[in-house]
Amino acid sequence: MALTLHFNSVSNPFRSRCSENGNVNLTKAKNLFRISSDLTTPKARFVVKRSETLAVKQLERPLMEYMSLPASQYSVLDAERIERVDENTFRCYVYRFKFFAFEVCPVLLVRVEEQLNGCCIRLLSCKLEGSPIVVAQNEKFSASMVNQISCGNGQGDSSSQQLSSDAEIEVTIDIPFAFRAIPVEAIESSGAQVLDQILRLMLPRFMAQLAKDYQAWASGDTSRQPLGSGKI
């Protein structure tokens, strides 16, 4: 039997939407309260795009052939930061960074999609590690990332090819209560700066590791051993 409340002289804002003859169903009212709460939670959105290119000397085995390898033959590049989950999926431990007074360490689960002249790295999920208040945000944010890796001919130089990375990250967060006195624009600006700094550090390093791995592969090294040390 459903529990109902009767309202006679008291005005109820939910009455017109979920009542019949003055009766309010508590389940419906609870859902409406939840929706109202969600709509009033302020959010911040960070979007960052960055591109990097690197000229790579063409060796006996061409770069295009290296970029066409199936994901199952990829080196993890840096065993301190990247671990293989399956043939196409990898877990990446991003460098710790500070956002306002909090230290954050994102852990990314990404999938590699093979393409004709390279690959596309897509974010499947992101988990935040750090202090309790940082960990609590795992249920209150969403993130997407795409990193398009490709190679093409160098500008007028047949002895080299150009390795390119085009990355885009988008993050949307519920602003914690402690930060709601700060203008949303200021939070979004700070968040975008942090993400941009991460890409400025990681993309060139990733490209250099990729070029180094290509050189090892082109020289006949089929071990696919990681070459990175986990350091910037």
For residue 91, how far is the Cα from the chain centroid? Answer: 12
Contact 110, 90 (CB under 8 A): yes
What is the enclosing helix (H) or strand (E) of 45? strand 43-57
Lowest mean pLDDT among 31-35, 108-112, 138-142, 161-165: 31-35
**Residue 10 pLDDT level (bands cut at 50, 70, 90):** very low
Residue 8 reports pLDDT greater than 80: no
How far CA 184 is from CA of 134, 149, 181, in Å, comes to 18, 33, 9
Q: What one-character-per-residue DSSP string does 136-166 give?
A: GGGGSEEEEEEEEEEEEEETTEEEEEEEEEE
Residues in the chain: 232
Please tell me whether the overall predicted TM-score, pTM, comes out greater than 0.95 for this model.
Answer: no
